[in-house]
Amino acid sequence: MQCVFVSEKGELNRGIPTSYAAPPLDKCFSASSEPPPVWSDAEGQVRGESFSPLYKSAPVAIKNAPELYELLVLVDAILGGRAREREIAKNELQNSLSHY
C-alpha cells in the first residue's frame, strides 16, 4: 500500500488533523512538540504540517461522514506513519472493516 499511494508532506498550514493526530488514533499517542499532520483546509482549526489525503476531496467528504474520516485517518497513518503508528492503524482498520 505504501508503494502504490505515496503520501506527500509539506509546509505548515491550517487544516484538519489526520494520522496519529486524529480519532481514533489520537487516544493512542500523547501530544508531541512536532506540528501534527493536517489535510490543508481553509476551514481547518489546527495548524500543522500539510499531508496529502488519499483523495483530494477527502476534507469535503468527511464533513458529513465521521466514519469515513476515521477510516481515512487510519489509511494516512499506514501510508505516512512510523512503525508503531502503522501497526496500530492496521489493527484498527481491520477491526473497523470487520463490522461491515
- Could you state, in order of their start, the residue ranges of all structural domains in the chain? 9-98
For cell 487516544, the residue is: 27
- pLDDT at res. 68: 95
- For residues 78 and 93, the answer to whether their CB atoms sit within 8 Å is yes
Q: How much is the pTM?
A: 0.87
Paired with 17 in beta bridges are: 38
- For the record, the C-alpha cell of 54 comes out as 488519499
For cell 503520501, the residue is: 7
- For the record, the C-alpha cell of 48 comes out as 500543522
- pLDDT at res. 33: 85
- For residues 38 and 15, the answer to whether their CB atoms sit within 8 Å is yes
> Which residue type is seen at 46?
V
pLDDT (tens place) for every residue of the chain, 100 residues total:
545 555 677 899 999 999 999 999 999 988 778 999 999 999 999 999 999 988 889 999 998 899 999 999 999 999 999 999 999 999 999 999 998 7
